[in-house]
Structures are given as structure tokens and as C-alpha cells.
Amino acid sequence: MGEHDVEHAAQILVGAFAQVYRQRGHTPPFPNVESAAWLCRSYLDLDRDGCLVAETGGVLVGVGFLHLRGPTASIGPVAARPGGPRGVGRALMNQLTGLARGCGSVRLFQDGFNPDSFGLYTSLGFSVRDVAPYLLAVELQPAAEARPDIRPGRADDLDAVVELDRRLIGADRTRDIEFLFVTGTVLVLERRRTMEGFLFLRALPARAVLGPAVATSEEGLAALIDAASLSLPGRSAVMRASAASPLVLQRAFARGFRVDHLGNLMVTGTRPTPPAQLYALFPESL
């Protein structure tokens, strides 16, 4: 992908996901072309060598992204132009997994309502490691109050956030965290001068995005979600949680989130399971 491909790639992302999601009664992840173009440009800044497009006869027919992070990689989003030739998705996946060869763990999200993508990813060796609900709040319901051990992050928290993230997640997301420190807001949970969790917020024009977030306990992550609701009262928001953390889901429901659809975290190789997390929607699957 080059800069000149961004607008066409964004249109493919919007069109492909809108078609699949709306056919099954779900909210498309890209509210408009501008949001998809922002994603493409951001990935070009972070992962230029992993940004791919597919062409047929000089016309863009597909787009996909790979995010290499030390021994770990994630893939996504991947989309083929509606009405385009067959096999575009598989061709992109073959190229993306080839670029990730040598990584001990490759991860992606698969929408549970899409049997075609499940069959494709399974045939490429991916297996389900977690059920990851995509949660949507039309209007965030703020908590009564924030806990005193949660505060806005500062620039000098960066190293502690990176260290906690690397220890619990098993991937090197340093450059992503640096990017999120600049483009969003982070809330940190700190007890006795020890960082025990963080949650990133990005207030985009259409909706706010919660995550990635990591904590050493479900209780800590639930408290961070409460604090986030106080920062964004009444805003529409999305996040991707884990079905392995029922307390976190219950707290999200109390703050106005509902399950839009279920997704699967599919993995080849190994994956450590942190105590509690919100998966990253940017970069996807990490």
C-alpha cells in the first residue's frame, strides 16, 4: 500500500464490512470512509511493510494489514471488495502469514457470525483461543465515582505501562503505546507506587474507543472501565472484551455496553493469557 491507495483502500474496508455486518443485523465497525482512511494512514505510519493491497487489472480489490511486534504478530483488518473476484481474501492471508513467518504467535479476530472467514482461517491453521465480544454503548452511563487509586496517565508513566503490558501480554507493543500516548488518553491504576493496570481512551468523532487495557485482576480492570465512563459521559463507545472475564463484562453492561456480536480470537502458535484485558482495536488483535 502506498499513500495514493488510501482512499480506495478505505472504501473497500467500509463497503466490505458494511455488507457483511448489515446482512446479519450488526453495526459496521467503520462509521464512515474518513474513519477507515484514518486507520490506513495510521497503519502506514506504524507498519508500512505490513500494509498490503490486492489488484486485478490495475483496480484495487482487497486490503490487509500485518502488525509485527517482536515474537508476536497480529493480522487485521482484511477485506475484499464486494462483487470482486473470488480468492482475494485467501491470497491476502497467504501473503500476510508469509510475512509473519518466524513469529511464535500470530493472532487475528474473526467475527463469529461469518462462517466463510472462520473456514478460511481454520484452513490456514488458526484455532480459537478466546471468545471476544464486541461491545457497543449507545450512551455511556457514568459510574457514581472513580476510585482514588486511578488517575490520568502522565508522560513519565510510559515505561511502567510498557513494562506491565509486555509482562502480561507477551508482545512488544512499545511503539503502539507510544502512539496511543500521543493520540489518546490513558488511565492508570496504581497502588503502593506499583502500576497494576491501564486503559487507553480515544474520543473519535463518531464514537469513543476503549482499549487496549490490561490489569493484574478483573476487579482492577472493572474499576478502570468505571473511570473511563466518567471521562466520557453520554458518549457512544465501543470496546472488545474477553468472555474469560465475567466481572469485566458485568461492569461494562452496568456502564451501558451491550454485546453487538461475538468474535473469536484465533491464534497460530502460543499465547499467554493475562488476568484481565480489553483487546486492542488498534492495532487489531493485539
Tens of pLDDT, residue by residue over 214-262, are: 999 999 999 999 999 999 999 999 999 999 999 999 999 999 999 999 9
- Are the C-beta atoms of residues 235 and 201 closer than 8 Å to each other? no
Query: How many helices (H) does the chain have, and how many strands (E)?
Result: 8, 12
Average pLDDT, stretch 100-124? 95
Task: Give φ, ψ of 104 to 5 degrees.
Answer: -75, -15
Residues 263 and 210: their CA atoms lie apart, in Å, by: 17
Residues 232 and 235: their CA atoms lie apart, in Å, by: 6
| pLDDT above 70 for 19 | yes
Domain ranges of the chain: 3-103, 137-260
pTM of the model: 0.91
| CA-based radius of gyration for the chain | 18
Number of Cβ within 10 Å of residue 95's Cβ equals: 14
Lowest-confidence segment of 67-81, 95-109, 170-184 by average pLDDT: 170-184
Give the rounded percent of residues in the chain with a pLDDT score beyond 90: 84
| pLDDT above 90 for 169 | no
Confidence (pLDDT) at 163: 96
Confidence (pLDDT) at 172: 87
Residues 192 and 81: their CA atoms lie apart, in Å, by: 52
Confidence label for 27 from pLDDT (cuts 50, 70 and 90) = confident
| pLDDT above 80 for 286 | no
The three-class DSSP label of residue 9 is helix
Instruction: State the average pLDDT for the chain.
Output: 94
Which distant-in-sequence residues (6+ apart) come within 8 Å of 148 by Cβ?
none
Confidence (pLDDT) at 240: 96
The highest-level CATH class for domain 3-103 is: alpha beta
Confidence (pLDDT) at 272: 67
Residues 108 and 94: their CA atoms lie apart, in Å, by: 14
Confidence label for 274 from pLDDT (cuts 50, 70 and 90) = low
Confidence (pLDDT) at 95: 98
> Strand locations in 145-257, DSSP E?
150-152, 185-191, 194-203, 208-215, 237-240
Per residue in 171-204, pLDDT (tens digit) is 889 989 998 999 889 999 999 889 999 999 998 8
State the CATH architecture for 137-260. 3-Layer(aba) Sandwich (3.40)
| pLDDT above 80 for 97 | yes
Identical fold between 3-103 and 137-260: yes
